[in-house]
Amino acid sequence: MTLIARKDAFVRGLVERAGWPPEQAEEHFHHYAPLFEIGNEVDFVLSEAKRLRRRYPGIPVAPMMYKVEDNRLYLVDEGSITQ
């Protein structure tokens, strides 16, 4: 989440660590950031679980989230969310 808010650090990393020209690094970020931005983390986890179940029907998939704030892993209750 909040990938857009980390643009400056991302671009700076490409410039300083990967040797990219600043203009190319910024263009790369603007092109690819929307593809990887996660709006709502719960919605994302649920949609990924659904996608993985369709892709790998023989493998059980559990929608889970790790929260850095409290160092805990949570099982997302799919029954309580309306999509």
Per-residue pLDDT reduced to its tens digit, 34-81:
888 888 889 999 999 999 999 999 999 999 999 999 999 999 999 865
Strands 72-75 vs 64-67: parallel, antiparallel or unpaired = antiparallel
Longest dimension (CA), the chain: 48
Per-residue pLDDT, 2: 78
Instruction: Count CA atoms within 13 Å of residue 64 on its CB side.
Output: 8
Of 42, 52, 29, 38, give the one whose Cα is nearest residue 2: 38
